[in-house]
A and B are shown apart, each in its own frame.
Chain A
Amino acid sequence: MGRRVIWTVFQKELLDLFRDRKTLLGTFLVPLVIIPFVFFLLGMSYSNVEKEARAYVPIAIHGTSGLTAALEKIPGARILQPENAEQALQGGMLRAIVTIPSGFDETIAAGRTGALTVAYDSTNQKSVYARDVIEQTVKAYSQEIVAQRLQHAGLSPKAIEPIASTYQNVATEERLSGGMLAGIIPLMLVVSLASGGVAAANDLVAGEKERGTLESLMTAPIAANHILTAKLLAVMVMSTMSALASLVSVSLVLSFGPLDTEGAGFSLGFFSPATLLVLVLTILLLAAMFAGLELVLSTIAKSFKEGQTYMSGIIFVAMVPSYMLMPLNPVDIPFLYYVLPVFNGVALCKEVFYGRVDPVHGLVGLGTSLLYVVVIIAWSSRLFRREGAVVKN
């Protein structure tokens, strides 16, 4: 009987929600349109800046030296002679000014150090790029002179390089890819789990109360807890769908978008059956916790509008832990975070995307999440069954 009632209410809620443009927009607009759009814009602007910085490098050279020829050979370099070079640098017409003092070549030839000045603008990405290529050119030129000096002294270049070091990166391609994803995806996932259910939860209690349908529903011979369970499941479905939509859209953007993934191609190789299970359980528990919390707020709210105001706080509950954990590597996450609500979910997501879940962290994170879910659902059930909770006035 109970299961039949829950199923009937659940089916009706989903039918009702899927016919509501407002709810659908709230659930799917952010993950499917806004996230890819923001990523795309970010990627586009980064790659455009970089492309332009490489293609055209206007610099001014004051003074003459053998170095000038090397600087002129920098790909994209244009040597300009503006009237006021410093003003041109600040205005962005010039990317760098190289000042070579008089007698520079002679100083070097005499075996001393020639002083070179490169002016650039650190607030301009393109100027920073120009500085980098000039530095590389100067370094190469300097090495040539070192080699000549050594040869002159009858020494091999190896004389000044007693140690040759090779640095090997132990991170596999999967972990490199996962490491990058571990920064972005928990944030996207947790925020869309929280935001995806907001519209549904607000509609299903505060909205129904305002329209008077909840009171009619409560006069049917069914238990309040069965109604609440069905509503909780409906909100969970909406928020999980929103989270999955954002996962898919971020994955697609990373695979085909203009973002440079620093050589770590997007791959799902970091998933193993165990980490996948942890990820699924984490998503479900977070969805249940947010759904419960949203239903609590929706039940407390006297109207749909009041509900919307309360719900705006939910996004912060999701965002604060996600942002706090975003720059951390799982090995640096304090143990306390595996116990705190929402923090534990974000921390576990990070471990999953790093390809290794510590069993103790997994158990503690999932166990405490389950505890929070039980507490929140018990609280929402208590509120929902409270006398007069379903009545408009």
Chain B
Amino acid sequence: MIEVKQVSKRFGDFTAVRDVSFRVEAGEVYGLLGENGAGKTTTMRMMATILQPTTGDIEISGFSVQRDPVEVRRRIGILFGGDVGLYNRLTARENIAYFGSLYGLEQARLQERIDSLSRMLDMEEFIDRRVGSFSRGMKQKVAIARTLVHDPDVVLLDEPTTGLDVTAANNFRRMVARMQEEGKTILFSSHNMGEINKLCKRVALIHKGSMRFAGTLESMREQYGIHDLDDIFMAVVEGSEN
């Protein structure tokens, strides 16, 4: 479970996130919508304890990011889009194993997790090859395996389908649906409305650091009187600029 409580983040005079609140339940894929630079990544970085909220707090499975950062990190897995954050000179297996051991997984359990993730993500063919030569889709699979190696309760996906081709993006969404069935709490940030429509029931829409909407997709459509999500998004963006 994720609970964001009136969180703000300031960098000097610039307010990146202003008074944002929402709650994500276990077994739910919650959409975090917004343009590039809206404050989605900053919010996720605060959840991952890389940044500290200036005001407010975030609780992950009951642990505060400010008071129990290490407990929070034990329970989350974060996947950044764009830069997948892998070591190119290590093999896929070495990358996953490195993170597994940092999460304190015992050797036998680690091997078991790597084997099962490798099967699940169809990586067996290239698991022992160095990551540097991989395609974007292959790298993304390794990054997902690394994110899930310690079997986290809460999964933060920051624009995870950026740069993936259609097949890889579809496979990825199928994976997210499977994680949801396993009861994981998933926060999915994106500016692709079609993707959000397929995966999420509830969303929060952030624009220029402030929350413009939080609730179900149906209530969003009702509130704006528009069916198409892209049009709603544009209405919010243009509305704030006019």
Contact = CB atoms under 8 A, between A and B. Distances in A.
B83 A212 contact: yes
Interface string B39-83: 000000100111110000000000000000011011010101011
Interface in B213-233: none
A375 interface: no
B168 interface: no
B94 A15 contact: yes
A84 to B, nearest CB: 68
Contacts, number: 68
Contacts of A139: none
A388 B84 contact: no
A219 B73 contact: yes
A9 B99 CA distance: 10
A231 to B, nearest CB: 14
B45 A213 contact: no
B87 interface: yes
Given A8-B98, A391-B45, A215 B85 contact: yes
Given A220-B102, A221-B103, A391 B86 contact: no
B89 A16 contact: yes
B67 to A, nearest CB: 15
Interface in A83-112: none
Interface string A1-12: 100010011001
Nearest to B72: A221
B200 interface: no
B184 to A, nearest CB: 16
A221 B50 contact: no
B170 interface: no
B90 interface: yes
B101 A388 contact: no
Which interface residue of A213, A388, A390 has the most chain B CB atoms within 10 A? A213
B73 A221 contact: yes
Given A5-B102, A8-B101, A20 B89 contact: yes
B50 A388 contact: yes
B202 interface: no
Interface of A: 1, 5, 8-9, 12, 15-16, 19-20, 211-213, 215-223, 387-388, 390-392
Given A9-B102, A217-B102, 4 more contacts: A16-B87, A216-B78, A221-B102, A388-B51
